[in-house]
Amino acid sequence: MKRILLFVATNMAIMLTLSIVLTLLGIDRYSGLEGLLIFCLVWGMGGAFLSLLMSRFVAKQAMGVQLVDGRTGHADLDWLHGTVRQITDRAGLPMPEVGYYESPEVNAFATGPSKSRSLVAVSSGLLRTMSREEVEGVLAHEVAHIQNGDMVTMTLIQGVVNAFVMFFARIIASVLRSAVDERMSGAVYFMAVFILQIVLGLAGMVIVAWFSRAREFRADAGAATLSGRGKMIAALQRLQQNTRLVETEHPALATMKISGVKSWMGLLSTHPPLEARIAALQQG
């Protein structure tokens, strides 16, 4: 319930912000192709980037992340902080915030709007289930995401997809509206936009998911460089044994996972199969 309320509140804040921006720009009611394009870009790109700016805060609240500073007196948590510091030093990155959250799932994630304002967090389930060498491999994978700028790139791709879905749905709906009786044109336009945004949105999700899978391979390769290929392979093999402990009930958080589940013949999966990731690392 807390996650649902946070999701609703976040989206309401984004919608309010973007509505104010559009009003200030004088295009809250667009006219012509140029106005429509600006309208869609503000909503599509603006929504994605506002989500990115809020990502650390939302992740902490949604997942119940507790930050650690290396001076907790808890051996595992202090080791966690020190290991992230060592890996980020090797990567030449600023030190991110480090945290953990209570959950039986085996998971870790990195998020944040920039390399200097990032967060790396792990679940208590991961700390209990994996050896320190395996955890180091996972942490290196998450730091590699930060090093590669994956959060920003994913946001750009999602924003462009959102904008073009909105734009083409309205263009096609306008054509359909012009082909029917004027008395039905409003209802036809509304229904067409609604249906087209769903259909085109699914097509756009295929593109976003494809890139997400590609970035996982790159992060695995980065982890092999930062902490050693053996540690990353061992971590993925451990995940194979514990896939039932990766929570899949919240699709909106799918990209904040170290692994995922197959979705719609793999086209909407945000993560490649673990077997494929292990094979890629073994082949160098």
pLDDT in tens, 94-142: 999 999 999 998 999 999 999 999 999 999 999 999 999 999 999 999 9
- For tokens 């012509």, the residue is 32
179 within domain boundaries: no
Beta-strand (E) ranges in 93-199? 97-101, 108-114, 117-123
Share of the chain above pLDDT 90, in %: 63
pLDDT in tens, 43-91: 889 888 988 999 999 899 888 999 999 999 999 999 999 999 999 999 9
- Cα gap 78→121, rounded to integer Å: 13
Give catalytic residues, as residue numbers.
142
86 within domain boundaries: yes
CB-based contacts of 230, cutoff 8 Å, min separation 6: 133
User: Could you give the angle at the alpha carbon of 85 between the alpha carbons of 82 and 89, nearest 5°?
Assistant: 145
pLDDT at 19: 75
Reported pTM: 0.85
Of the pLDDT bands very low, low, confident and very high (cuts 50, 70, 90), residue 252 is very low
Share of the chain above pLDDT 70, in %: 86
Q: CB–CB of 264/254 below 8 Å?
A: no
Range in 111-125, 167-181, 210-224 with the lowest mean pLDDT: 167-181
Structural domain harbouring 127: 65-134
Nearest to 242 by CA among 227, 259, 228, 230: 259
75 within domain boundaries: yes
pLDDT at 27: 64
Sheet with 108-114, edge to edge strand ranges: 66-68, 97-101, 117-123, 108-114
pLDDT at 2: 57
111 within domain boundaries: yes
Strand, helix or coil for residue 51: helix
Segment 235-263 mean pLDDT: 63
Residue 13 has pLDDT above 80, yes or no: no
pLDDT, mean over the chain? 87
Of the pLDDT bands very low, low, confident and very high (cuts 50, 70, 90), residue 198 is very high
pLDDT at 210: 93
271 within domain boundaries: no
185 within domain boundaries: no
Q: Residue 59 is which amino acid?
A: A
pLDDT at 5: 66
Range in 93-97, 170-174, 218-222, 245-249 with the lowest mean pLDDT: 245-249
81 within domain boundaries: yes
83 within domain boundaries: yes
Domain count, the chain: 1
Which domain CATH number covers 127? 3.30.2010.10
Of the pLDDT bands very low, low, confident and very high (cuts 50, 70, 90), residue 40 is confident
Residue 228 has pLDDT above 70, yes or no: yes
